[in-house]
Amino acid sequence: MSTADRLRWFARGFGQLLITAGVVVLLFCVYELKVTDAYADAQQDKLEDNLTKQWTAPAGPQGPAVPTTALGKAFARIYFPTLGKDQVRVVVEGVGVEDLKKGPGHYPGTALPGQLGNLVISGHRTTYGAPFRRLDDLDGGDAIVVETRTAYFTYTVRRVFPVSPRTVQVTYPVPYHRDAVPRERLLTLTTCHPPYSAKERLIVQAVMSSTVAKAPGVVPPALQGR
């Protein structure tokens, strides 16, 4: 075999290898973006059914805004009205790998909706339904609504900013002040940043601006017209 033939053989084999690698990468992307989205959609449907059953069942003794919820179970609904009418997700309890495959997750031990302190919710940005895909489209003054069995809690966005994944101080009851006594009702959302990367975390900080008790035909102003 001549040198030219060997070069052609090598080039042909290398080209086929690149094509195969491209197909593998494409299939992986399809799995990441389609299969995981389909899984999350199915889980959200189940969670929505479970949440409806929980909230329509006879109420027990008066308790907190959200009763103690088992990990991975439906916790509340979260709405992003300025991002569109379809921007609503069921939040689960927990931020473990399996929990976040179902939807946004409430960080255990942080405040409940409407409570003093810091309600922390985390979610995926690119896979498993990407519930927090558009967090960077939020602006100061935008409303975020958290719905529980008994009320709608509206939080107003203060700021949107990236931090290091190690900056856990944003989850403290008073962000960055571990031992401070909370005097505000805060909401902190966290997700990966930038998209398709875990280099940083995108943080949305908001403060509660109103509470509307649930009653037939009553919704907070931010959700009117839905």
Q: What phi, psi does 153 have (nearest 5°)?
A: -115, 120
What global pTM score does this model have?
Answer: 0.84
Using a pLDDT cut of 70, give the percent of the chain over it.
81
Catalogue all structural domains in the chain, each as residue range(s) with its CATH number: 38-223 (2.40.260.10)
pLDDT (0 to 100) of residue 24: 39
The 10s digit of each residue's pLDDT in 91-142 is 999 999 999 999 999 999 999 999 999 999 999 999 999 999 999 999 999 9
- pLDDT at position 197, please? 87
Rounded CA separation 222/83 (Å): 12
Q: Render pLDDT for 3-37 as a digit per residue (tens, 0 to 9).
A: 655 555 555 655 554 444 443 344 444 555 588 99
Provide mean pLDDT across the span 63-84.
Answer: 84
Q: Which residues are catalytic?
A: 124, 192, 201
